Amino acid sequence: MGLRVLDPRLEAEGEPMTMAAPLRALEGATIGLLDNAKIGTARFYDHVEGILRSRFGVREFIRRRKPDSSRPAPPELLGELGGADAILSAVGD
């Protein structure tokens, strides 16, 4: 009996995604922080927010927390982050 190799990859659907252009600077920016609802994330974001404010001049933060860590963020929660110039999503345990 011969060896049969299967390829589980699918062909890509739709238009290819591209990365957003990087911010020219963080000074004066609004940054979204999406918390994955694990125990260490809020504390980690407190530290990140302090660094971004003091060292890089970030003006404002939009902080949101997912209902739980095992599901994607609801569309309405993502919509609330729409006013941010950039969004950081992190995992904490």
Confidence grade of residue 5 (pLDDT, cut at 50, 70, 90):
confident
Structural tokens at position 52: 């971004």
Instruction: Give the Cα separation of 6 and 77 in Å (integer).
Output: 39
pTM of the prediction? 0.78
- Residue 14 to residue 91: CA distance in whole angstroms: 29
pLDDT in tens, 7-31: 888 787 888 888 888 999 999 999 9
Label residues 15-43 b or e (16+ Cβ within 10 Å = b): eeeeeeeeeeebeebebbbbbbbeeebee
